[in-house]
Each structure stands twice: as structure tokens, then as C-alpha cells.
Amino acid sequence: MHTVAMRSVRWFLGSIVLVLCVGSWAGGAEAPAPLKLTAQQDHRNMMEQLGITSLRPGADGMNPKAPNYANYNEAKANPYPNLPDPLTLKDGQKVTTAETWWSRRRPEIVEDFDREIYGRVPANVPRVTWEVIETTQGTDANIPVVTKKLVGHVDNSACPAIAVDIQLTLTTPAKATGPVPVMMEFGFIFPGGRFGPPRGGPGRGGPTWQQQVLAKGWGYAILVPNSIQADNGAGLTSGIIGLVNQGQTRKPEDWGALRAWAWGASRALDYFETDKAVDARQVGIEGLSRYGKAALVAMAYDQRFAIGFIGSSGAGGAKLYRRNWGELVENLAGSGEYHWMAGNFLKYAGPMNSGDLPVDAHELIALCAPRPTFISYGAMSGPGAEGGWVDQKGSFMAAVAAGPVYRLLGKRDLGTAEYPSRETGLMDGELAFREHSGGHTTGPNWPTFLAWADRYIKGPPLPGAPEKTTAR
């Protein structure tokens, strides 16, 4: 039986006034105007498409007296202990060669993530044309730099009512002797000089991560996710998702915001391949929290990213979906976060559960192999945020379970299944993990990440620097 909310959505969709969205809709015919829905209305519409009348409530991470208070008891943490085997084909055959991984098993895993978790990138996504709108010269920590502000104009000729202009900044050392590696962050810096919270070194008194990167002779880039796709369900009929759908609601297999942000990162990488200041073969991706999720998705799907720094990504990122700890599948499927995921994901908070998922987070990490991937977390006391909500241990377990794929491809995994003590990094392999004490930030882990990345990323010689020996 349909609820009153469902009936109201049908009335809303049926009564909206139609105007032209000129272009390729139905071979050039008139198209309806982009819908204006609340997140709750859009969420209910997706439930209706799936035939779901109710979802289980998400965990409450703040109120210990709530009946659905989040679990922080290890004895109750793993109700679905058996993870899908990343090295077993769907027909039951074991994967024993790299060729079988690349040709058969990896595509199986990608298909499951596409269909059930992050959604498919449509075949008809319009092209992006990059424009450098401003170039400035300056200094950062006494290092001369060149900063470019760019806009990626997405072709909206099929639906002029929806405009998507991707915002990106690129900063490189002005005195570089050749193309430089670049670390790209999902962040908030453009336009108007907007920055997120300070993310310096230990004690927050050290140099910023940008300054640390520049000191190595590398460049950095900041990509603004909300310029690609809004971070809410009401925005699903706009942004790149809405543009492709010509302002109409998603279908269950359509992409969500995480996949859209990752797509935007790939388009930035397209630009870097044309910029002579950038070594596009050595571009890394970094993000924190929801943007840590996006960074992991970008790393997994686009093999051109050379290295990943995945900060506090939690559920929807590196945390195991099957683990009952902190934030759960039910939270991701609610009206506040569902827009990150494919519509099909809602099924696992209704008629099914996390144990029914065909894949889990360890396989998303495995898709990054054999490239170096650093899983980062920060500790703080109490059950909130890093104290439990994002589940550092669940992400560590996922990284451990991704290890066999790294080993199959000739690379080193974490080297242990024992959770490390705080401030002790597992840094010997291409798969790395470290929990710092600084809370919900990547800041204190930047020095460790950069020292580890030196094994894999090589920039041009710094001007005036003594020649390095090969000894280590």
C-alpha cells in the first residue's frame, strides 16, 4: 500500500508545468522542465520505483538512550563475517593469474559496484571544455608558484536550462625544471578563496599540506565537488546527473554523487594531460570524509590516478558495509545521504541487508591495485566521528582483505592482520594504513604519506638542490 508521501510525489510530478529543454530529448522533441524536488520527495520517488514501502532507520551516533543507538561493541560488530572473495569468479573458479584478474574478475566486481552501489556513468555524458580564466604568480612559504583558476564547461546544448561549470585550481612551482607530479584534493577553495578547516602538520602548527607538497617540488590542485554535483538529494535533477537526465529523476542504476564527483576528477585529469606544467602520469587523489569516499571511488575507477590518499572515508568508502559499527548501510540509504549512492542501494536497507550485497569495501580497495593506496584515519575520544562512527577498524579489515589482490599483482599488502597502535603506520607496501591522534582530518598524516609516496612518485630535480644518490 502506498503512503500519503508517495501519492504526493506522484501529484507533484504530474502537475509540474512543462517548458522547453531543447536538444536531444526524444530525438529533438520538447522536454519537460527540470524538476524541483526536495530530497525527501526524490528519495520517496526512488523507493516507489524500487517497490519499497519502508526502510530500516539508520544508527543514531549521538544519543546512547536511542533504541537505534550505534553499536560500538566488538562482540556485535560482525554479524556477516564472510566477505565476498575478490579472487573467486562468479562461476566459482579461483583467480590465480593477473590476466584472469584483469580480464574476468575485475570487470565482474566493477559491474556489481556499478549496478548496486555507486551507479553507472551514462554513455551520453557531454564533453567538458576547460578554460583557464586566471593565471597568477606569487609565493607560498617563500616558494614561487603559478596558480591557474580553471572552469570546465560541460556541454549543455541538449538541455540549456542546466549549466555545469567545474571549478578547479592548479598550483605549480614556478621554477620547476620540468613537468611536476600533482596531488589533487576534493576541497573548497574556488571561487573567492574559500578554504576548508586548517590541515597542517602535527599540532596544526606546521606547514599546510599544500606547502609540504610544494616543498617537494610537486604541485597541487583543488577540485570543488559541488560544482560537479550538489551534495544533497534535491540537487539530483541538476548538476551533471541532472544534465544527463535533462532534469528528470534518476533510475535505480543511475550514478550518485560519489560517482559523479569521481567522474569530475577524471575530467580534471583529462585537462592535466594537456598542461605542460603537469606530469599527468603522476597525479594523486586525496579527500577527507565524504570526499575520502569520492577519492577512493575515483582511484578505483580511473587507473590513470597514480596514488591515493584516502582520508577517514568510513561507510560508502573504505569501511566494510557488513560490519555493524557506527554508520551503517541504513544511514547511507536515508534521505540525507542516499544521493551519494545508486538508487539500487536502498534495497539493502529495506527488503535486504548488508549481508546481501554482492561486493564490499575491500573489493573497492582491490580495484586500486596495484597502485599505492594509503588508508588514513584520525582518532578522538568518544563515540562520535573518528571515535567510532567512521570505523577505522572496519576500514583496516577491508584493507587486509584487499591484500590478496595486491599480492597477486606482485605488490606488497599491509603485512599484518593485527590492528596497529595509534601513530604507528603500516607503510612497507603499496597498501598502507595509519591512524593518527588528530581527529577528523588528514593533516597529521600528510608528512607520513609524502615520505611513503617518495617511493612511487618522482618529481623533477629541485632548482639548486644537490643531486640525490640512489642509496636508501
Mean pLDDT of 75-91: 97
CB within 8 Å of 28: residues ≥ 6 apart: none
What pLDDT shows up at residue 62? 87
Instruction: Pick the more confident residue, 318 or 465.
Output: 318
**What is the spatial distance between Cα 250 and Cα 49, in angstroms, rounded to a whole number?**
10
What pLDDT shows up at residue 202? 42
pLDDT interval class at 264 (50, 70, 90)? very high
Which structural domain range is residue 311 located in? 128-453
Name residue, grid cell 591495485.
369
**Mean pLDDT, all residues of the chain:** 90
Indicate if the pLDDT at residue 379 is higher than 90: no
Indicate if the pLDDT at residue 111 is higher than 80: yes
Cβ atoms within 10 Å, residue 297: 30
Mean pLDDT of 221-241: 97
Mean pLDDT of 316-322: 98
Indicate if the pLDDT at residue 22 is higher than 60: no
pLDDT interval class at 463 (50, 70, 90)? confident
What pLDDT shows up at residue 467? 52
307 domain residue, yes or no: yes
State the chain's maximal CA–CA distance in angstroms. Answer: 75
Query: 413-426: per-residue pLDDT in tens?
Result: 999 999 999 999 99
Name residue, grid cell 500500500.
1
Number of domains in the chain: 1
CA 30 to chain centre: 35
Indicate if the pLDDT at residue 20 is higher than 60: no
pLDDT interval class at 4 (50, 70, 90)? very low
pLDDT interval class at 204 (50, 70, 90)? low
426 domain residue, yes or no: yes
79 domain residue, yes or no: no
Domain at 228, CATH number: 3.40.50.1820
Query: N- to C-terminal Cα distance for the chain?
Result: 68
Which range is least confidently modeled, 11-20, 109-118, 204-213? 11-20
Indicate if the pLDDT at residue 5 is higher than 60: no
Indicate if the pLDDT at residue 12 is higher than 70: no
pLDDT interval class at 266 (50, 70, 90)? very high
What pLDDT shows up at residue 381? 54
Mean pLDDT of 229-248: 97
458 domain residue, yes or no: no
**What is the spatial distance between Cα 13 and Cα 138, in angstroms, rounded to a whole number?**
52
pLDDT interval class at 462 (50, 70, 90)? confident
Indicate if the pLDDT at residue 52 is higher than 60: yes
Indicate if the pLDDT at residue 302 is higher than 60: yes
- CB of 182 closer than 8 Å to CB of 218: yes
100 domain residue, yes or no: no
pLDDT interval class at 472 (50, 70, 90)? very low
What pLDDT shows up at residue 206? 83
What pLDDT shows up at residue 17? 31
444 domain residue, yes or no: yes
Which burial class, exposed, middle or buried, applies to 178 when counting CB atoms under 10 A from its CB (0-12, 13-18, 19+)?
Answer: exposed
Query: 348-366: per-residue pLDDT in tens?
Result: 999 999 999 999 999 999 9
70 domain residue, yes or no: no
Nearest to 209 by CA among 305, 318, 311: 311
Query: 403-458: per-residue pLDDT in tens?
Result: 999 999 999 999 999 999 999 999 999 999 999 998 899 999 999 999 999 999 99
Q: Return left, alpha or beta for 4; rule: phi > 0 is left, psi -120 to 50 is alpha, else beta.
A: alpha
What pLDDT shows up at residue 387? 57
Nearest to 22 by CA among 154, 155, 124, 160: 160
Mean pLDDT of 376-386: 67
What pLDDT shows up at residue 165? 98
Helix, strand, or coil here: 447? helix
What pLDDT shows up at residue 274? 98
Mean pLDDT of 279-300: 98
Query: 169-195: per-residue pLDDT in tens?
Result: 999 999 999 999 999 999 975 444 443
pTM of the model: 0.91
Indicate if the pLDDT at residue 116 is higher than 60: yes
Mean pLDDT of 162-175: 98
151 domain residue, yes or no: yes
What pLDDT shows up at residue 205? 67
